């Protein structure tokens, strides 16, 4: 007594006989293929004006921990099938914060029905729009109602409008880089994750402000050198747009005396909106020669070995103060970080052949946190080299319509996401273990 009933089923007749039809199916995450438990599965009659965003379902059930669900005692007819995570327990999906899934084609129910697997994905369907603009201290902010994938700001007088995404990626911060007498008309073009473009205009205006400028932060991520490819690769992130880069004094240091200028081989790619600079440097031949020498094991045993991995010398990548100047004339601080070098025997290799009828696709290597580590596109073979030891998964994004990119679902037009395939071996395992100096061959077919 007084114990809550589990999996309680109440059936009501819609006529002289009890309805007996059933629907079974499974709900998984679109990108990870993990089962989704405790989600609402809803059925709406085909002629119902409601959907998961506007009203509760006519029939609903819930997935178990394995992502499975079952409807029992359903009346025959035509239905639309949806799933959503109902965080606020109101039986209506709020797409700005609750993930959802749908079956594109209606279900005609006249016998027991096994539904296609539903793929859950978070995607805000609100119509993209510019909501407001305004001055904040010495900056001007432009706000949208949802996450922005791309933005363009064009001035009526053809001046270059310098801006960045704010942390929420729903707003833009515009910098005062040219004089405006009163205000200047700006044409805005915004794009969301569905590829929908919203166009609008606003008037840009700056005012005198005693507020301090935002702090200039430059983050130097660890630079890694490949002895196989003879290159050093790294990434630098900036909190403000860049105005200038000075390469002349960037050096690789072995000690206070031995230095190698690398300006001539320093190449980079700059994402001007995200303010991320990815760079690549040739490893000087003298450095390669030193790192390629076998350790002096006799001296190392006596405690006389040099520092660094494998008893080799250590090297630092030095960026002097002022290497990067912001749009507000801030100067970057000096950075002197030790370089990490990877020898072929320290890492692994994953490669294989690809058998497919598709012309456009992306092979992704994911780490244990489902973060994309490497990618390969549109070839009949693939190779992921210099893979750090650990557990990995291989995911394939298939560009079914051949438009050059993988397309997400569009529930408003009943268009499903393009195919996502997670590799599994003959035992059903999706994880692949890589050890140092291992080569693993995985042939893919999709």
Based on the number of CB atoms within 10 Å of its own CB, is 416 exposed (0-12), middle (13-18) or buried (19 or more)?
A: buried
Question: How far apart (Å, rounded) are the C-alpha atoms in residues 433 and 390?
Answer: 6
Q: List, in sequence order, the alpha helices (H) in 13-130.
A: none
**Of residues 300 and 353, more confidently modeled:** 353
Where is 394: in which H helix or E strand?
A: strand 390-398
Question: How far apart (Å, rounded) are the C-alpha atoms in residues 378 and 12?
Answer: 54
Give me the chain's average pLDDT, please: 92
Give the model confidence (pLDDT) of 79-106 as tens digits.
Answer: 999 999 999 999 999 999 999 999 999 9
Using a pLDDT cut of 90, give the percent of the chain over it.
Answer: 88
The alpha carbon torsion through 263, 264, 265, 267 (nearest 10 deg) reads 70
What is the per-residue pLDDT for 309? Answer: 45
Say if residue 310's pLDDT is above 60.
Answer: no
DSSP 288: H
What is the per-residue pLDDT for 5? Answer: 58
**Of residues 124 and 313, more confidently modeled:** 124
> Residue 88: CB partners within 8 Å, gap ≥ 6?
94
352, 382 in Cβ contact below 8 A?
yes
Task: Report the Cα 334 to chain-centroid distance in Å.
Answer: 30
Say if residue 439's pLDDT is above 80.
Answer: yes
What is the per-residue pLDDT for 43? Answer: 98
Mode of pairing for the β-strands spanning 21-29 and 113-114: parallel
Question: How far apart (Å, rounded) are the C-alpha atoms in residues 119 and 422?
Answer: 13
Q: Which two tokens stand for residue 82?
A: 């949806």
Please, which contacts does 367-372 make with residues 24 or more away whose CB atoms are closer than 8 Å?
367/391, 367/392, 368/392, 368/431, 370/31, 370/32
Say if residue 16's pLDDT is above 70.
Answer: no
399, 405 in Cβ contact below 8 A?
yes
Strand, coil or helix: 299:
helix
Class of domain 130-204: mainly beta
Instruction: Give the pLDDT band of residue 308 (cuts 50, 70, 90).
Output: very low
The answer regarding whether domain 347-445 maps to CATH 2.60.40.1120 reads yes
Instruction: Give the pLDDT band of residue 107 (cuts 50, 70, 90).
Output: very high
Question: How far apart (Å, rounded) are the C-alpha atoms in residues 402 and 421?
Answer: 17
What is the per-residue pLDDT for 274? Answer: 82
When pLDDT is averaged across residues 370-376 and rounded to a whole number, the result is 97
Question: How far apart (Å, rounded) are the C-alpha atoms in residues 222 and 405?
Answer: 30
Q: Which two tokens stand for residue 343?
A: 């020898």
Where is 291: in which H helix or E strand?
A: helix 285-292
What Cα–Cα distance (Å) separates residue 18 from each residue in 21, 58, 73? Answer: 10, 17, 7
What is the per-residue pLDDT for 257? Answer: 87
Location of each CATH 2.60.40.10 domain in the chain: 21-120
What is the per-residue pLDDT for 259? Answer: 95
Location of each CATH 2.60.40.1220 domain in the chain: 130-204
Location of each CATH 2.60.40.1120 domain in the chain: 347-445
Instruction: Give the pLDDT band of residue 430 (cuts 50, 70, 90).
Output: very high
What is the per-residue pLDDT for 83? Answer: 99
Question: How far apart (Å, rounded) are the C-alpha atoms in residues 383 and 402?
Answer: 23
Say if residue 307's pLDDT is above 60.
Answer: no
0.75 surpassed by pTM: yes
What is the per-residue pLDDT for 305? Answer: 41
CATH number, span 218-343: 2.60.40
Give the model confidence (pLDDT) of 207-260 as tens digits.
Answer: 999 999 999 999 999 999 999 999 999 999 999 999 999 999 999 999 888 999
- What are the b/e assignments for 7-37, b being 16+ CB within 10 Å? eeeeeeeeeeeebebebebbbbbbbbbebbe
Greatest CA separation for the chain: 95
Class of domain 21-120: mainly beta
What is the per-residue pLDDT for 235? Answer: 98
Question: How far apart (Å, rounded) are the C-alpha atoms in residues 271 and 269?
Answer: 7
Give the model confidence (pLDDT) of 147-196 as tens digits.
Answer: 999 999 999 999 999 999 999 999 999 999 999 989 999 999 999 988 89
When pLDDT is averaged across residues 40-58 and rounded to a whole number, the result is 97
Q: Please give the full DSSP string across 220-255, using - where no structure is assigned.
A: EPPPEEETTTTEEEEEEEESS-EEEE--TT-EEESS
Question: How far apart (Å, rounded) are the C-alpha atoms in residues 133 and 18?
Answer: 58
What is the per-residue pLDDT for 19? Answer: 67
When pLDDT is averaged across residues 136-153 and rounded to a whole number, the result is 97
């Amino acid at each position: 007594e007084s114990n809550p009933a589990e999996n309680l089923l109440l059936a009501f007749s819609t006529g002289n006989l009890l309805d007996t039809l059933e629907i079974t199916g499974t709900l998984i995450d679109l990108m990870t293929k993990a089962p989704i438990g405790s989600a609402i599965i809803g059925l709406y009659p085909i002629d119902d004006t409601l959907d998961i965003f506007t009203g509760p379902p006519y029939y609903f059930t819930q997935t178990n921990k394995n992502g499975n669900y079952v409807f029992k005692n359903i009346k025959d007819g035509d239905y639309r099938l949806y799933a959503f995570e109902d965080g606020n327990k109101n039986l209506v999906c709020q797409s700005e914060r609750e993930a959802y899934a749908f079956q594109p084609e209606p279900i005609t129910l006249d016998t027991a029905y096994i539904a296609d697997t539903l793929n859950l994905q978070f995607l805000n369907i609100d119509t993209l729009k510019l909501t407001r603009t305004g001055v904040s201290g010495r900056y001007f902010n432009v706000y949208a109602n949802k996450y922005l994938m791309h933005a363009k700001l064009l001035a009526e007088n053809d001046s270059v409008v310098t801006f960045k995404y704010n942390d929420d990626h729903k707003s833009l911060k515009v910098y005062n880089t040219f004089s405006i007498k009163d205000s200047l008309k700006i044409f805005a073009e915004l794009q969301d994750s569905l590829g929908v473009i919203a166009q609008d205009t606003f008037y840009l205006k700056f005012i005198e402000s005693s507020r301090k400028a935002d702090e200039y932060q430059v983050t130097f991520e660890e630079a890694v050198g490949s002895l196989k490819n003879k290159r050093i690769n790294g990434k630098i992130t900036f909190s403000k747009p860049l105005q200038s880069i000075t390469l002349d004094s960037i050096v690789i240091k072995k000690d206070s005396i031995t230095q190698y200028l690398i300006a001539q081989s320093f190449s980079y790619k700059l994402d001007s909106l995200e303010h991320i600079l990815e760079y690549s440097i040739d490893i000087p031949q003298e450095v390669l020669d030193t790192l390629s020498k076998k350790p002096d094991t006799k001296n190392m045993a006596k405690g006389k070995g040099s520092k660094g991995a494998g008893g080799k010398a250590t090297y630092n990548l030095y960026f002097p103060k002022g290497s990067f100047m912001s749009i507000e004339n801030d100067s970057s601080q000096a950075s002197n970080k030790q370089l990490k070098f990877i020898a072929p025997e320290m890492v692994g290799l994953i490669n294989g052949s690809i058998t497919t009828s598709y012309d456009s696709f992306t092979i992704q290597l994911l780490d244990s946190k489902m973060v994309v580590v490497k990618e390969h596109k549109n070839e009949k073979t693939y190779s992921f080299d210099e893979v750090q030891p650990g557990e990995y998964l291989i995911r394939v994004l298939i560009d079914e319509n051949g438009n050059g990119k993988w397309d997400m679902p569009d529930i408003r037009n009943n268009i499903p996401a393009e195919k996502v395939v997670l590799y599994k071996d003959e035992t059903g395992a999706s994880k692949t273990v890589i050890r140092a100096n291992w080569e693993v061959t995985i042939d893919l077919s999709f």
